[in-house]
C-alpha cells in the first residue's frame, strides 16, 4: 500500500472590509445643498437605516420629524450635527452631563 498525502485546506482568514459607512443609525444629520437644490437650514434628519453601498457611495435612510416619509441620501449629501468633541478622552456621560469636567476659577 502506498500512503497518500492528504492536504487540509485552512479556511481563509476573514478580510477586514474598509468601514465605508461613517454615520450611525439614530444620528442627527443635516442635508447639504447638492445637485442644484438648496437644503433648508432648519431641517434636521435622523438616520433610520443603513443601506448597501452603491457605486462606492454609502447610502442611508433618513427621516425628518415633520415629514410622513423617509428619504434615501448618499453619505456625501449628509452633514453630521454632532461635532467631534475637543476632548476625545471624555466619556459619553461626561460630554452629555458634564460629569468629571473641571471648571476653571
Give pLDDT tens digits for 28-82.
Answer: 999 887 566 566 656 899 999 999 998 888 999 999 988 899 999 999 999 998 6
Where are the chain's structural domains?
20-81
pLDDT of residue 29: 94
Count the alpha carbons within 13 Å of 47 in the hemisphere toward its beta carbon: 25
Position 85 confidence tier, pLDDT thresholds 50, 70, 90: very low
CATH class of 20-81: mainly beta
Which comes out higher in pLDDT, residue 52 or 7? 52
pTM of the model: 0.56
Residue 19 to residue 49: CA distance in whole angstroms: 16
Closest CA to 84 of 42, 21, 27, 45: 27
Amino acid at each position: 500500500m502506498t500512503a497518500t498525502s492528504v492536504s487540509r485546506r485552512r479556511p481563509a482568514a476573514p478580510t477586514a472590509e474598509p468601514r465605508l459607512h461613517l454615520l450611525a443609525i439614530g444620528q442627527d444629520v443635516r442635508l447639504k445643498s447638492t445637485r442644484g437644490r438648496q437644503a433648508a437650514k432648519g431641517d434636521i434628519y435622523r438616520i433610520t437605516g443603513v443601506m448597501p453601498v452603491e457605486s462606492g457611495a454609502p447610502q442611508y435612510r433618513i427621516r425628518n420629524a415633520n415629514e410622513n416619509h423617509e428619504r434615501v441620501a448618499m453619505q456625501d449629501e449628509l452633514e453630521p450635527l454632532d461635532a467631534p468633541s475637543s476632548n476625545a478622552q471624555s466619556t459619553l456621560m461626561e460630554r452629555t452631563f458634564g460629569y468629571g469636567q473641571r471648571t476653571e476659577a
